[in-house]
């Protein structure tokens, strides 16, 4: 294990915006339990597609999209607050 210093742009939580040494742009640190939830949501989407259940697939996709949108919004707000351009 290597110990480093990183820049923290948001409070901690399930997905913190941090910049590692040597990187131009910050990234999003996702906690393991939150990563597992994202993976579970994606698996539900795939299973619904396999069953041909478009209603369940749409619901699962909506949950997944909402979670990703929330992370992206937090990321964008942190960049704006620190006057960092978006990398996209």
Q: What would the 3-class secondary structure string for 24-56 be?
A: CCCEEEECHHHHHHHHHHHHHHHHHHHHCCHHH
Q: Which residue range forms the structural domain that includes residue 59?
A: 7-81
86 domain residue, yes or no: no
Is residue 1 in some structural domain?
no
Is residue 57 one of the residues assigned to a domain? Answer: yes
Mean pLDDT of the chain: 94
Which pLDDT belongs to residue 14?
83
On whether residue 58 sits in a domain, the answer given is yes
CA distance 83 to 33: 30
- Per the structure, how many domains does the chain have? 1
Q: Does 1 score more than 80 pLDDT? A: yes
Residues of the chain with pLDDT > 70, as a percent, come to 100
* Average of per-residue pLDDT across 57-86: 95
Kindly report the pTM of this predicted structure.
0.87
């Amino acid at each position: 294990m290597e110990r480093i210093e990183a820049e923290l742009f948001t409070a901690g939580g399930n997905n913190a915006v941090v910049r590692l040494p040597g990187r131009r742009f910050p990234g999003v640190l996702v906690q393991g339990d939150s990563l597992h939830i994202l993976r579970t949501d994606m698996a539900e989407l795939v299973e619904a597609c396999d069953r041909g259940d478009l209603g369940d697939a749409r619901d699962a996709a909506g949950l997944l999209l909402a979670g990703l949108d929330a992370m992206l919004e937090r990321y964008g707000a942190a960049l704006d607050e620190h006057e960092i351009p978006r990398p996209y």
